[in-house]
Amino acid sequence: MTTKSARSGDATTDEIALNPECFGRSDSEILSTLVHEMCHLWQHHYGKPSRAAYHNKEWARKMETLGLIPSDTGQPGGKPTGQRMTHYIAPGALFEREAASLLARGFQLRWQSQGRASAGKAGNKNKTTYTCADCGQHAWAKAGAQLVCGACMQAMEASAGPASA
């Protein structure tokens, strides 16, 4: 999972990338990961982010206000700040209530990987590598996808052969 911002002229495009290959979890847990990443984006725009990949006290406080408890172990009692962090959902707090309400109204994610059994095998023959001719940024998607580079706003071109990412 990554969060970044790219500038193109006067516009800023924010991106949160989540990899469905990592999702063997419930919709509520996936939504909590999205909110975790949104807290990074909030901090990028309105707070004081620390060095790359470090989760500081400001970020931890924002997470807690939303009902997600930062923890280096993913369990109560874990350190709330650090380089490699996860979180757990606070029972009865804002996130749990809102996610339950959303899911009760029939909201569903279809982000879980359909090819989970093949995860971990070398290469993915169902993906094609796309490259931005201007900046060289890469993306992977199904063959025939029409992608635009978020940094340059230029069409990305498919490479020959399957992706190896």
Residue 30 pLDDT = 92
Confidence tier at 160 by pLDDT (50, 70, 90): low
- Per-range mean pLDDT, top range of 115-119, 150-154, 161-165: 150-154
Does pLDDT of 149 surpass 60? yes
Is 6 or 72 the better-scoring residue by pLDDT? Answer: 72
Task: Of 119, 143, 113, 121, give the one whose Cα is nearest residue 130.
Answer: 143
Residue 70 pLDDT = 98
Dump pLDDT digits (tens) for 60-96: 999 999 999 999 999 999 999 999 999 999 999 999 9
Task: Of 67, 70, 66, 75, give the one whose Cα is nearest residue 85.
Answer: 70
Q: How far is CA 123 from CA 14, 44, 142, 144, in A?
A: 28, 34, 13, 18
Confidence tier at 135 by pLDDT (50, 70, 90): confident
Residue 34 pLDDT = 94
Alpha helices in 72-132 (DSSP H): 94-104
CA distance 7 to 83: 26
pTM over 0.95: no
What integer is the mean pLDDT of 120-140? 71
